[in-house]
């Protein structure tokens, strides 16, 4: 019997663990090793340089830029997506009529949910290519076309979207336009998530509140929102990961993958630029290790902040 268990466990684990070690763990370990060398990537020549790459990292103008752009997305993507998703979920669930059964959801909320969820099933590449056409910097683009038609902007002076490095509120305009896409594609998913969480709050909680004379706004802000805290914090962590991974949009949509003039660089695009365009693999690996440490610290921090007693019901 005991012997059988050992054979069974090994047999079941061998393949998954083997694949994982070869295609995931080993590359990560190698990357950490390369980050200590000056390897260019194409030659076999590599020299151990110690922490030189890491020291260089701190004085790299491009990395400083990328860092702040990452921080920008890290704050704004979760903030705007969650705010919009909560607002939509609120309207959907308490925007309906009021009667003896309590406050209702709006009519047709099922249909709204189906539609809002659309972007979630589209791939990032489809979204990026589609928005490339929406954001075209001439009358052929959807947004410029509409705005020209209703006369809000002049035909000779269209919005340049992805080619606009001018800062708005201290952040390059191109980043704001990318943010809009992220919020557009994420809001529906998190609305469905919040909606489901709202519906799993037991009815008696609401009945008690309504008996006490609470209106729908009070009920929402004093009861629903606090009880959603767990779900919102999980959503925040997930959106944080998405915000770190805006690379698909940057790669496909911005000029020279991080432009114009490095205005939309993020960590991933700087790694890509250094590794595949400048041929500095060692240095690129050092940036990636720094990003990994940054990510892990952030995840730990978020888990610490959001950890709280669960409310059981």
- Contact set for other proteins, span 44-73 (CB under 8 A): none
Helix, strand and coil percent figures for the chain, each rounded to 5? 70, 5, 25
Structure tokens at 46: 């590599």
Residue 97: CB partners within 8 Å, gap ≥ 6? 103, 104
Q: Give the nearest distance from C-beta 76 to other proteins in angstroms.
A: 19
Nearer to other proteins, 107 or 167 (CB): 107
Q: Are 123 and 129 in contact (CB under 8 A)?
A: no
Q: Are 163 and 261 in contact (CB under 8 A)?
A: no
Residue 98 is a binding residue for other proteins (CB under 8 A): yes
Site for other proteins, residues 198 to 257, rule: CB under 8 A: 198-203, 206, 216, 231, 234-235, 238, 244-245, 247-248, 252
| Contact residue for other proteins among 19, 71, 152, 311 (CB under 8 A) | 19
Residue 95 is a binding residue for other proteins (CB under 8 A): yes
Nearer to other proteins, 118 or 168 (CB): 118
Site for other proteins, residues 70 to 89, rule: CB under 8 A: 87-88
Can you name the residues that pair with 48 across neighbouring β-strands? 37
- Angle of helix 173-199 relative to helix 124-134, nearest 10 degrees, comes to 130
Residue 113 is a binding residue for other proteins (CB under 8 A): yes
Residue 285 is a binding residue for other proteins (CB under 8 A): yes
Phi-psi region of 300 (alpha: psi -120 to 50; beta: other; left: phi over 0): alpha
3-state secondary structure of 99: strand
Query: Which of 61-69, 153-161, 164-172, 266-274 is the region at the interface with other proteins (rule: CB under 8 A)?
Result: 266-274
Q: Could you give the CA distance from residue 187 to residue 117 in angstroms, rounded to a whole number?
A: 8
Query: Which of 19-27, 43-51, 59-67, 156-164 is the region at the interface with other proteins (rule: CB under 8 A)?
Result: 19-27
Q: Are 34 and 281 in contact (CB under 8 A)?
A: yes
Residue 25 is a binding residue for other proteins (CB under 8 A): yes
Q: Give the nearest distance from C-beta 10 to other proteins in angstroms.
A: 9
Q: What angle do CA 32, 35, 40 make, to 5 degrees?
A: 130
Q: Are 286 and 57 in contact (CB under 8 A)?
A: yes
Determine phi and psi for 30, rounding to 5 degrees.
-60, -40
Q: Could you give the CA distance from residue 123 to residue 83 in angstroms, rounded to a whole number?
A: 23
Nearer to other proteins, 75 or 125 (CB): 125
Nearer to other proteins, 87 or 167 (CB): 87
Site for other proteins, residues 147 to 206, rule: CB under 8 A: 149, 184, 187-189, 192-193, 196-203, 206
Residue 180: CB partners within 8 Å, gap ≥ 6? none
Q: Give the nearest distance from C-beta 65 to other proteins in angstroms.
A: 17
Query: Which of 25-33, 58-66, 164-172, 257-265 is the region at the interface with other proteins (rule: CB under 8 A)?
Result: 25-33
| Contact residue for other proteins among 64, 75, 83, 118 (CB under 8 A) | 118
Query: Which of 51-59, 74-82, 139-147, 159-167 is the region at the interface with other proteins (rule: CB under 8 A)?
Result: 139-147
- Size of residue set near other proteins by CB under 8 A: 115
Query: Which of 8-16, 51-59, 68-76, 151-159 is the region at the interface with other proteins (rule: CB under 8 A)?
Result: 8-16
């Amino acid at each position: 019997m005991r012997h059988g268990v050992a054979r069974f466990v090994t047999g079941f684990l061998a393949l998954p663990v083997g694949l994982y070690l070869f295609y995931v763990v080993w590359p990560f370990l190698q990357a950490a090793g390369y980050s200590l060398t000056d390897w260019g990537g194409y030659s076999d020549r590599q020299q151990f340089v110690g922490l030189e790459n890491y020291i260089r990292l701190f004085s790299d103008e491009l990395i400083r830029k990328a860092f702040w752009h990452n921080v920008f997305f890290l704050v704004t993507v979760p903030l705007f997506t969650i705010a919009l998703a909560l607002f939509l979920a609120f309207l959907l669930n308490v925007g309906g009529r009021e009667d003896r059964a309590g406050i209702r959801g709006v009519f047709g909320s099922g249909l709204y949910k189906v539609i809002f969820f659309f972007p979630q099933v589209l791939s990032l590449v489809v979204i990026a290519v589609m928005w490339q056409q929406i954001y075209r910097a001439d009358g052929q683009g959807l947004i410029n076309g509409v705005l020209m038609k209703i006369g809000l902007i002049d035909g000779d002076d269209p919005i340049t979207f992805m080619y606009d490095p001018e800062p708005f509120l201290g952040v390059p305009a191109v980043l704001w336009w990318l943010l809009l896409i992220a919020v557009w594609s994420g809001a529906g998913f998190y609305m469905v998530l919040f909606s489901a969480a709202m519906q799993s709050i037991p009815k008696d909680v609401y009945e008690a509140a309504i008996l006490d004379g609470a209106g729908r706004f009070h009920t929402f802000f004093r009861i629903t929102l606090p009880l959603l805290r767990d779900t919102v914090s999980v959503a925040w962590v997930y959106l944080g990961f998405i915000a770190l991974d805006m690379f698909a949009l940057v790669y496909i949509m911005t000029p020279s993958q991080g432009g114009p003039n490095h205005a939309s660089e993020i960590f991933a695009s700087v790694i890509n630029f250094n590794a595949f365009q400048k041929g500095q693999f060692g240095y690129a690996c050092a940036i990636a290790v720094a990003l990994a440490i940054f990510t892990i610290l952030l995840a730990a921090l978020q888990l610490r902040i959001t950890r709280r007693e669960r409310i059981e019901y």
